[in-house]
Structure 1
C-alpha cells in the first residue's frame, strides 16, 4: 500500500474519554500495517453539552495548524456540525443530510467534513443481521437514543429493501426527535415507517420493549454504559423473544449488555456488542483522513490486529 504524503505529526480524536478507548493502543499498530505517515493519535476530550466555542476551538485548531492530519469525532458529531459547520470548506452530502460530522479530513488548507456513520453502521449491521430478517419475521426495531449513531441506524433501516415493520426512535428531548424526523424527511424515508417517542426514564423504555413483536431488534445508542453509567431500561425490562440485541458500546460499565446477557438463554437472544462497529468506524475515517483505500480484506486484517489489544 502506498503511504500518503504530508507534513502532519498526528491524527486527532474528538470524544469524551478518549484515553480509555482501545484505539489508543490499536492506532500505532494499524499505522504500521497501513504505512501511515504518523503513528500518533491525540485525544481531544470534551464534556457532553459543552458550549459551542469549545467545538469551534477544536475544529479551528485542526484547520489552522499543519501538524493535524484530520480527526475522528465520536460522541460530538451533531454538536460539531451545529457549532462549527461554517469552518469547513466542504461538507459531503451525508454530513448535510444528517447534520453531523464524524470525519474531519485535510487536503492542504482545505478542510472537509463527512458523515461516516451511515456507512459504518450498515457494514456492522450486515455482519450479524440476516439479509431477510424483517421480511421473514415481521419484527420491528427499537433504537434507544437519537444521537449520531442512532440517527444513522434509523436511516439505514428505513433505506433497506428488507425493512422492519416499524422503527421506533427514542430520545429524552423533543429537540433530538425533531432532528431525526427532519433527517428522515430530507432522506426521503417513508414517514409511516417511523415512530418518534420521548422517554423520560427506564419505565418508558420497559413499556416499549414489552410491546415489541418477537425477533425485534433492540439497540442501545444512548451512550449509557460508556460515556456515563447506567442503562436506558430497568432490570425489570424484558427483551422480545428471539430478539436481536445490539449494544453500540464495547467498553465501559456496559449495563445494557449485561442485562441482555442475563436474558440471553431464557429468551433466545442474539447479542452483538459494539466491537465491529468500532472497527468499521475507525477504518472508514482513517481511509478518509489519509486518502487511502480500505477494502474488506484490509478491514479484516486490521480487526485481527486490534483483537490482540482488546
Structure 2
C-alpha cells in the first residue's frame, strides 16, 4: 500500500466516543492502520454511559471542538444523543444526518464542526455483502430490525431509500419515542414496502415478530444488547424463518442473540453473522472522511486484512457462518 506523508507536524487525535472504548478492537487495530496509511495519529477513547446526560454529551463535543490536535471523532452508541444534545454546535450537517437525526462522524475544521451520519452507507455495504446485489429476492423477503436507535433507524432508512425494497420492514423498539422519531424519518422516503413500527415490551413479543417473517428474511439485532447491555432482544424460544440471515450489528460482547440463532442454524438453514464487517466499514468510512484517504476496494481489503491479523480473526470469514 502506498503511504502518504502527514500534512501536519503534530500528532492528530481521533476521538472515539462510546461506552467501553478500551475493550474495542480498534484500539489495537488503528495504530497498525495509521502506520500502513502513513498517518501521524492517535486514538482517544471517551466513555459515556448508555443513557448519558445531555450536558455530558455536549461537554464531549465542546472539548473536541477546541482540542488543537483533534481531527474529529467517530461516535457509536451515542449517535442520536449527539444530535439531540449538540446538533446546534455544528456548522454543517450532511443530508443523512438531518434525515436520520444522528451524528456518527465529526470533523474539526477551520469553519467549525461538520457532522455526518455514516450508518446508512456502512449498513448498506454490510448487508449487501451478506445478501448479495439482490438482497430482497424480488420483494419476497422481509427486514426485521430489533432496535430503532441510531443504527437500527439508519439501516431501515438505507433499505427504504433503495430502488429494490423488501416485502415488509418491521422496526421494533421498547421505546415508543424512538418509533415516533422513526416514523417521522421514514415518512420522508419513498417507502414501497409494507412498514410496521412495533413497540415490544418483552423478548417473547420480539420473538413473535421474528417467527412471523418470510423465509430468507434479514433479522437484525440493533439494540446494543449483547454488548452495551446484557442479554438478547429475543428469547431462546424464538424461531427464525428458514433460510434467514441473523445479523448482530455488534462484533464483541456475549452476542447472546447469535447464540440463539446458532442453536437452530443447521435445522433452519440460517446464515449467522456478527458485526465485524460492519465495524470495518464504519471505521474505514470515517478514516477516509477525516484523513482524506481514498478508500478503494483494494485499500479496504488491505485494511481488513491488517485488522484480521491484529485481532486474530479469520479474515475470510468476516464473522459469517452458514447452516
**Separation in 1, partners of 2:152, 2:263:** 24
Find the counterpart in structure 2 of residue 115 from structure 1: 117
Q: Does 1:21 align with 2:17?
A: no
**Separation in 2, partners of 1:3, 1:274:** 32
Q: Moved runs in structure 1, 4+ residues, more than 4 A?
A: none
Structure 1: segments with no counterpart, 5+ residues: none
**Separation in 1, partners of 2:51, 2:148:** 15
Asked if structure 2 preserves the Cα contact closer than 8 Å seen for 1:48 and 1:76, the reply is yes
Asked if structure 1 preserves the Cα contact closer than 8 Å seen for 2:91 and 2:111, the reply is no
Asked if structure 1 preserves the Cα contact closer than 8 Å seen for 2:285 and 2:295, the reply is yes
1:123-202 equivalences under 5 Å are 123-136=125-138, 138-186=140-188, 188-190=189-191, 193-202=194-203
| Alpha-carbon offset, residue 255 of structure 1 | 0.3
Find the counterpart in structure 1 of residue 79 from structure 2: 77
Asked if structure 2 preserves the Cα contact closer than 8 Å seen for 1:131 and 1:162, the reply is no
Find the counterpart in structure 1 of residue 318 from structure 2: none
1:63 to 65, 74, 82: 65
Structure 2: segments with no counterpart, 5+ residues: 312-323
**Separation in 2, partners of 1:12, 1:180:** 28
Find the counterpart in structure 2 of residue 278 from structure 1: 279
Greater helix proportion? 1
Select the structure with the greater relative contact order (CA < 8 A; seq sep ≥ 6). Answer: 1
SS in 2 for 1:227: coil
| Alpha-carbon offset, residue 245 of structure 1 | 1.1
TM-score (norm 2): 0.92
Find the counterpart in structure 2 of residue 35 from structure 1: 38
| Alpha-carbon offset, residue 153 of structure 1 | 1.0
SS in 2 for 1:308: helix
| Alpha-carbon offset, residue 273 of structure 1 | 1.0
**Separation in 2, partners of 1:119, 1:191:** 20
CA RMSD of aligned residues (A): 1.4
**Separation in 1, partners of 2:4, 2:44:** 24
Asked if structure 1 preserves the Cα contact closer than 8 Å seen for 2:246 and 2:273, the reply is yes
Q: Deviations over 1:8-32 (max 9, x none)?
A: 5421000000011000000000000
Find the counterpart in structure 2 of residue 54 from structure 1: 56
Q: Deviations over 1:70-116 (max 9, x none)?
A: 11000000000110011111111111111110001112352111111
